Structure 1
Amino acid sequence: MKETGKIISYTSGSIPANLVSLAFATYVQFYYTDYLQGSPEWIGVAATIQAIYATLLYPFLGYLSDRTTSRWGRRVPFIVYGAVPLGIAFMLVWLAPFKPTHVLLFTGYFFVTSILYDTLFNLTMVNWSALFPELFKSSQRRAYASAWKQMFGILGLIAGLALPRMISSAIGWPLMGVVFGILSIATLLTTFPSMELKRRREEQRNATQVQPAEIALPVMKALKYTLVNRSFITFVGMRFFVQFAFTMLTADLSYYAKYNLHLSGTQQSLILLGTLAVALPLVYVWGFIVPRLGAFTTTIIAVCLFALALIPFIFATTFLGAVLSGLLLGVGLSGILMLTDVLISDVIDEDELHTGRRREGMFYSIHGVIVGLGTPLQAAVTAFVLVMTGYKADSVQSASALWGFRLMITAIPFVAIVMGIAFFIGYPLRKQRVKAVQEELSQSQSLPS
């Protein structure tokens, strides 16, 4: 398969990765509490428990990814066999058969279907993500593939964040879930050619022995080496706080737009569409900056720009003001999206020098665990603010509730980003260190075995 075709095929997986995950994270709590009018307290508790369970499961899925072999090698079977169940599970989340007056059945259905969806999502997408450093080993190929990945990723973000309100306004939330489930299956199928299944089967058939670098570390040692890795911890600490800020903003924007600005569902979607429309072309600008300043410095700039762009939301009182604020968010967001895979690939390269093994599955899964904890934290913080400020579903809100909506999309995310920057200051893989690691790896791989 030609290189460009392989890159396009693989990176198209960013569409379902963002399509269903962002639609779920952004709208499911609003759907069950405001649209279906379930109890905010019960749904908040269920969402928090579900998300904690799913994120705690994540590292074991990554370890399973690193050590599982098949006729196609590592990782691929989980993607091939997980695509269809993942789409179906997403559909089920939006097809609640019980009324909110049956509190236990209603909350229980939300809890069980969310657990099923999140587990299948993590199992499938951690393996897809872990293929990135394996498929694209040089810095040049990673940069090129990352640009394509983020382009598709932003398309998935647009679909996952902005389109659910438009689609649900036209055909209802349940059918929106069915449409998105089908789209996720279809787009995951487009990643299969990049995996070159026939070639992988032949390689596995011809393999006569397992190389030492392919032997997985014992699970506890693998966890230990990951969690004491300074480069990884400072990177993932920053990612946690930035992702929490982004999740607070997107998940709670619906409350702010509906009650503070009195916007329609379509207008709310247009705010997010504006953000992503700005982010899409700027991905390539950030790709131009990274080789010159290095990933660390570029990340600091992007995260600071994202934090500063939150401030105008405090003063926005009209649809136009909210749209302009959203446009500013796209500048920093595009850089954050562009840099995530670059940073984690650098961390994985450095780890190979210390352990002699490629442990993409473990790093991506632990990254998913820690970053994913932002979702239950967002659910808990949102539920707390809603209850404490006197929010009442689909009714005229008190002044304290209106202030709470504004707080959830400005001050809380801003403080989180500041904390993320403080974490990232200790990140040791600056530009020269990354260059040295890549040169050392290149030299060791060129030695005769």
Structure 2
Amino acid sequence: MSAAGAGLLARLRDRRIDGAPSRRQSIAFGVSAFPTQLMAQTFAAFAVYFYVAHLGVPADWVAGAMIAHAVLNAALNPVVGAISDRRRTAWGRRVPWIGLGIVPLVVAFALIWMPPALPSGWLVVWFLVVVAVYDVAFVVVVLNVSALFPELFRTTAERSRGNVPRQLFGILGMVLGTALAPLLYGTIGWPGMAIAMALVCLGLLAWSFAGGMVERRGASGRPQGEEQDAATAPVLDWRGQLRYTLANRAFVTYVLGSLAVQTSIAIIVAGIPFYVRYSLHAEEAAGSILLGAVFLAAIPALFGWSRLARRTSPRTALLWSVAVFGLAAVGFQFAPGIPAAAAVALLLGVGVGGLLQILEVALAQVIDDDANRTGLRREGVYFGVNGFVVRGSVVVQAVVAAAVLGATGFDAALGDAQPAPVDGGIRLMIAVVPLVFAVIAWLCFRAFPIRRRDVEPLALAPLA
């Protein structure tokens, strides 16, 4: 390696901060959400379509591969989180994993859309192998970025402000992941789309890594979490990790509330195409209007919810955002057409903005409280277990949709001439069922025991 390259690596390795991240660092840190959400949304929206409709792979084979993807992704979260917490290097705990994962993540994403000419069976094998690499790299990068968030931003005020750029870039990535991909593959083909997106994602992730991925210096001058000598530092084995995590009342109430919220959102997003066509009797493209209205309202709402959390507490902001979200969803029950439904979606987006903005701020409080009791910063485990649990929202959403459509006599072969109960069932699914899950989430967050704006450091109790 050249002297210039070695010098650059040394500067990246030795970066530490003592106070709050600068605005420039906060923006650079938040930029990482755009490429990761762009890739995640593009994969979620178009992978099945690409392999089934474009490559001709049997749908049930692809469905099985997608199930394997979901299981692997869920299982990786707590494992990667625990490894990240325990692994300490001269570069810190999180930054090395992020740096090592960026290139494999981007390359694997591109290869998903660039398979060689193979029979259907081998295309499934290609899909499974490439997506497995994509899953590992995605979890390694995204989980460690998430785990870095509570370390960089230490107070509710810092976290509320610092999370705004991240959520803004994340929303833009989600929107463009749905809207941009068809334009690209329609003009330059699927390989062209893959290469173009991969280059953009690689550039933005590299910029974010260089400008925003830094670790905090502890009291000893070493990276936070490494202050104690390795011989005397408290260590939790795997059983201890799970015991302290799952016995933490604050975390249990938080993660159950988060699961209920994510389930409610998943049900609405998956139900909108059915709602638009079979309840509102509009063109399918009108679904984009409703989803666009949600994101349009969520973006400015981020700033208002950030201010509320800083003035009150994350718990209070969560309770209000869940209430707005749940009550707004009821409006879908009564909307007679697209204009009224779009108005409902705007109000729903206000609540969604609060949930996007505050959920990770509240989880950071759980981690602070845990550090007071265990003497360990365990961001990786908490974000990992949370990621594992909330993946269940996809399963619950699928079960709800199947139950509602089956009970009402829905038959895709009938086209628009569905039985009369289908309209009522779909409205129930997209309005009342989300309200029920929102009520569950509200009750969980009401039981959330951390009611202060900030968790103050306490004298560390010895590990049991």
TM above 0.5, one fold? yes
1:342 pairs with one of 334, 357, 361: 361
**Is 1:323 aligned to residue 337 of structure 2?**
no
Please give the alpha-carbon distance, in whole angstroms, between the structure 1 residues aligned to 2:271 and 2:328. 16
Q: Contact conserved, 1:147 with 1:338, CA < 8 A, in 2?
A: yes
Q: Tell me what 1:16 maps to.
A: 35
Identity among equivalent pairs (%): 31
1:243-295 per-position Cα deviation (integer Å, ceiling 9, x unaligned): 12222332443454466644365x54343222212111111111121233322
**Is 1:263 aligned to residue 283 of structure 2?**
yes
Q: Contact conserved, 1:162 with 1:269, CA < 8 A, in 2?
A: no
Distance 1:130 1:259, change over 3 A: same
TM-score by length of 2: 0.79
Q: Contact conserved, 2:372 with 2:459, CA < 8 A, in 1?
A: no
Please give the alpha-carbon distance, in whole angstroms, between the structure 1 residues aligned to 2:274 and 2:187. 20
**Is 1:247 aligned to residue 247 of structure 2?**
no
Max Rg structure: 2
Distance 1:87 1:128, change over 3 A: same
Distance 1:347 1:184, change over 3 A: same
Equivalent residues in 2 for 1:7-406 (5 A)? 7-29=26-48, 42-95=61-114, 102=120, 109-164=126-181, 167=184, 175-192=192-209, 193-196=211-214, 210=229, 216-257=235-276, 261-263=281-283, 265=285, 267-316=286-335, 318-379=337-398, 382=401, 389-391=410-412, 396-399=415-418, 403=423
SS in 1 for 2:449: coil
Q: Which moved more, 1:56-65 or 1:381-390?
A: 381-390
Distance 1:139 1:331, change over 3 A: closer
Please give the alpha-carbon distance, in whole angstroms, between the structure 1 residues aligned to 2:248 and 2:399. 29
Please give the alpha-carbon distance, in whole angstroms, between the structure 1 residues aligned to 2:113 and 2:429. 25
Deviation at 1:231, TM superposition (A): 0.2
Distance 1:209 1:312, change over 3 A: closer
1:398-448 per-position Cα deviation (integer Å, ceiling 9, x unaligned): 5159646655544443333233223333211113xx54x31xx0x659xxx
Q: Contact conserved, 1:168 with 1:175, CA < 8 A, in 2?
A: yes
Q: Contact conserved, 2:277 with 2:416, CA < 8 A, in 1?
A: no
Deviation at 1:57, TM superposition (A): 2.1
Please give the alpha-carbon distance, in whole angstroms, between the structure 1 residues aligned to 2:247 and 2:391. 19
AA paired with 1:328?
Answer: L
Q: Tell me what 1:428 maps to.
A: 449
AA paired with 1:195?
Answer: M
Q: Contact conserved, 1:55 with 1:369, CA < 8 A, in 2?
A: yes
Please give the alpha-carbon distance, in whole angstroms, between the structure 2 residues aligned to 1:3 and 1:214. 31
Please give the alpha-carbon distance, in whole angstroms, between the structure 1 residues aligned to 2:383 and 2:29. 17
Q: Contact conserved, 2:321 with 2:351, CA < 8 A, in 1?
A: yes
Q: Which moved more, 1:12-21 or 1:253-262?
A: 253-262
Please give the alpha-carbon distance, in whole angstroms, between the structure 2 residues aligned to 1:130 and 1:153. 16
Q: Which moved more, 1:332-341 or 1:147-156?
A: 147-156
1:78-113 per-position Cα deviation (integer Å, ceiling 9, x unaligned): 1112112212222333456689x95x5565555444
Please give the alpha-carbon distance, in whole angstroms, between the structure 1 residues aligned to 2:277 and 2:232. 54
Deviation at 1:4, TM superposition (A): 1.5
Highest RCO, 1 vs 2 (Cα 8 Å, sep ≥ 6): 1
Q: Tell me what 2:6 maps to.
A: none
> Which structure shows the higher helix fraction?
1
Deviation at 1:334, TM superposition (A): 0.7
AA paired with 2:437?
Answer: A
Please give the alpha-carbon distance, in whole angstroms, between the structure 1 residues aligned to 2:240 and 2:364. 21
Q: Contact conserved, 1:44 with 1:383, CA < 8 A, in 2?
A: no
Distance 1:420 1:42, change over 3 A: farther
1:417 pairs with one of 429, 438, 444: 438
AA paired with 1:263?
Answer: E
1:370-414 per-position Cα deviation (integer Å, ceiling 9, x unaligned): 11222344455556767773335xx83551596466555444433
AA paired with 2:99?
Answer: V
Please give the alpha-carbon distance, in whole angstroms, between the structure 2 residues aligned to 1:302 and 1:119. 33
Please give the alpha-carbon distance, in whole angstroms, between the structure 2 residues aligned to 1:203 and 1:357. 15
Deviation at 1:175, TM superposition (A): 4.8
**Count of equivalent residues:** 431
Aligned residues: CA RMSD: 3.6
Please give the alpha-carbon distance, in whole angstroms, between the structure 1 residues aligned to 2:123 and 2:391. 24
Deviation at 1:347, TM superposition (A): 0.3
AA paired with 2:212?
Answer: S
SS in 2 for 1:185: helix
1:28-69 per-position Cα deviation (integer Å, ceiling 9, x unaligned): 456666787866655444433431232122111001111112
Please give the alpha-carbon distance, in whole angstroms, between the structure 2 residues aligned to 1:331 and 1:208. 42
Q: Contact conserved, 1:83 with 1:124, CA < 8 A, in 2?
A: yes
AA paired with 1:391?
Answer: A
Distance 1:263 1:41, change over 3 A: same
Segments of 5+ residues of structure 2 without an aligned counterpart are 1-16
SS in 2 for 1:389: coil
